[in-house]
Amino acid sequence: VPSVLCLGDCQLQTSCRIQKCTTDFVSLTSYLNSALESFDLEFCKALRAYSACTYRNSKVCRGNLDYHSAVLGISDLMSQRNCSKDGPTSSTNPELTHDPCNYSGHTEARKHQGVEKTPPPTYLFCGLFGDPHLRTFKDHFQTCKVEGAWPLIDNNYLSVQVTNVPVVPGSSATATNKITIIFKSYQDCTDQKVYQAVTDDLPAAFVDGTTSGTGGSIKSLQIVEKVGGKYVEMHARYIGTTVFIRQLGHYLMLAIRMPQEFAMAYEESQDLQLCVNGCPSSERIDDSGHLPLPVMGQLLPQSGAAHPRSVYTLETATTKCHEKMLVKDIYFYSCVFDLLTTGDANFTAAAHSALQDVEALHPRKEHWHIFPSSGGGGVGKDSEFSVGLGLVCLILVVFL
Give per-residue pLDDT as tens, 25-41: 887 887 676 666 678 88
Q: Which of 59-63, 96-100, 127-131, 262-266 has the lowest mean pLDDT?
A: 96-100
Q: Are 289 and 376 in contact (CB under 8 A)?
A: yes
Q: How much is the average pLDDT of 330-346?
A: 91
Instruction: Look at residue 6 in the predicted model and tell me its pLDDT.
Output: 41
Indicate if 176 and 45 belong to the same structural domain. no
pLDDT at 226 over 50: yes
Instruction: Look at residue 312 in the predicted model and tell me its pLDDT.
Output: 86
Indicate if 205 and 267 belong to the same structural domain. yes
Q: Rounded to whole angstroms, how far apart are CA atoms 168 and 276? A: 28
Indicate if 77 and 150 belong to the same structural domain. no
Instruction: Look at residue 136 in the predicted model and tell me its pLDDT.
Output: 96
Domain boundary among 47, 81, 115: 81
Provide the mean pLDDT of the chain: 80
Q: Rounded to whole angstroms, how far apart are CA atoms 224 and 211? A: 8
Q: Rounded to whole angstroms, how far apart are CA atoms 145 and 280? A: 10
**CA-angle at 173, arms to 169 and 176, nearest 5°:** 100
Does any domain span residue 245? yes
Q: How much is the average pLDDT of 174-188?
A: 93
Domain boundary among 284, 313, 336: 284
Indicate if 62 and 211 belong to the same structural domain. no
Does any domain span residue 56? yes
Indicate if 134 and 77 belong to the same structural domain. no
Instruction: Look at residue 41 in the predicted model and tell me its pLDDT.
Output: 86
Tally of domains in the chain: 2
Q: What percent of the chain has pLDDT over 90?
A: 49
pLDDT at 168 over 90: no
pLDDT at 211 over 70: yes
Does any domain span residue 329? no
- Residue bearing the bigger pLDDT, 298 or 319: 319
pLDDT at 130 over 60: yes
Give per-residue pLDDT as tens, 61-73: 988 999 999 999 9
Residues 6+ apart with CB under 8 A from 158: 181, 182, 183, 184, 236, 239, 241, 258, 262
b/e map of 28-56 (b: 16 or more CB within 10 Å)? bbebbeeebebeebbbbbbbbbbbebbee
pLDDT at 162 over 70: yes
Does any domain span residue 96? no
pLDDT at 398 over 60: no
Indicate if 134 and 213 belong to the same structural domain. yes
Domain, as residue range, for 66: 17-81
Indicate if 66 and 127 belong to the same structural domain. no
Q: Are 256 and 125 in contact (CB under 8 A)?
A: yes
Does any domain span residue 139? yes
Instruction: Look at residue 258 in the predicted model and tell me its pLDDT.
Output: 96
pLDDT at 316 over 90: yes
Does any domain span residue 230? yes
- Residue bearing the bigger pLDDT, 7 or 237: 237
Does any domain span residue 145? yes
Instruction: Look at residue 274 in the predicted model and tell me its pLDDT.
Output: 96
Task: Identify the CATH number of the domain in which residue 196 sits.
Answer: 3.40.1000.10
- Which residues on adjacent β-strands are paired with residue 124? 258
pLDDT at 199 over 60: yes
Three-state secondary-structure class, residue 388: helix
- Residue bearing the bigger pLDDT, 29 or 92: 29
Instruction: Look at residue 31 in the predicted model and tell me its pLDDT.
Output: 67
Instruction: Look at residue 89 in the predicted model and tell me its pLDDT.
Output: 80
